[in-house]
Amino acid sequence: MAHPKKEERLSPEELEEYLALVQELDRLKAERGEARPEGRVSRAISGFFDYRENRRKQLLNKKKYILLAVFTGWMGGHRFYARQWVTAILYLLFFWCGFPLAMTIVDLMIVIPMQPNENGNILL
């Protein structure tokens, strides 16, 4: 039985030409307004990550955040304090299923090791 041939690799010149064509295609898509992903779900996911990258961080008191997370985290109290409105409302809507409680534990695992500044505040 003969083994199939390994995929042929592009030569450096062919790779350079391919990358130039991909850049040209991206430029043409941007001109036509097609640079965003096609589907509604893809646009929503891209929009979420764009928002997450560009959002303004809040200066919060670490002790207050931890106390809110411990006592009201299951319903999103610490997220309301951090002005993260969308996730706070989602925590509040789904508090009955236990998922916000699990996410609160993750939030605590992120915040507890953070070093506060001289006033006891963290940037979150």
* Number of folded domains that form the chain: 2
pTM: 0.63
- Kindly state whether residues 45 and 63 are assigned to the same domain: no
pLDDT of 28 = 85
CA distances from 107 to 19, 32, 79, 87 (A): 41, 41, 9, 12
CB–CB of 43/34 below 8 Å?
no
- Kindly state whether residues 31 and 78 are assigned to the same domain: no
Cα–Cα dist 79/58, whole Å: 11
pLDDT of 60 = 96
Cα–Cα dist 124/116, whole Å: 11
Closest Cα partner for 78 from 39, 38, 105?
A: 105
Q: What pLDDT digit, counting tens, does each position of 84-98 carry?
A: 998 999 999 999 999
Q: What pLDDT digit, counting tens, does each position of 16-52 carry?
A: 898 899 888 888 887 887 665 567 888 888 888 888 7
- 7 within a domain of the structure (yes/no): no
Domain that includes residue 91, residue range: 56-123
pLDDT of 11 = 83
Q: What percent of the chain has pLDDT over 90?
A: 52
Confidence of residue 1 (pLDDT cuts 50, 70, 90): very low
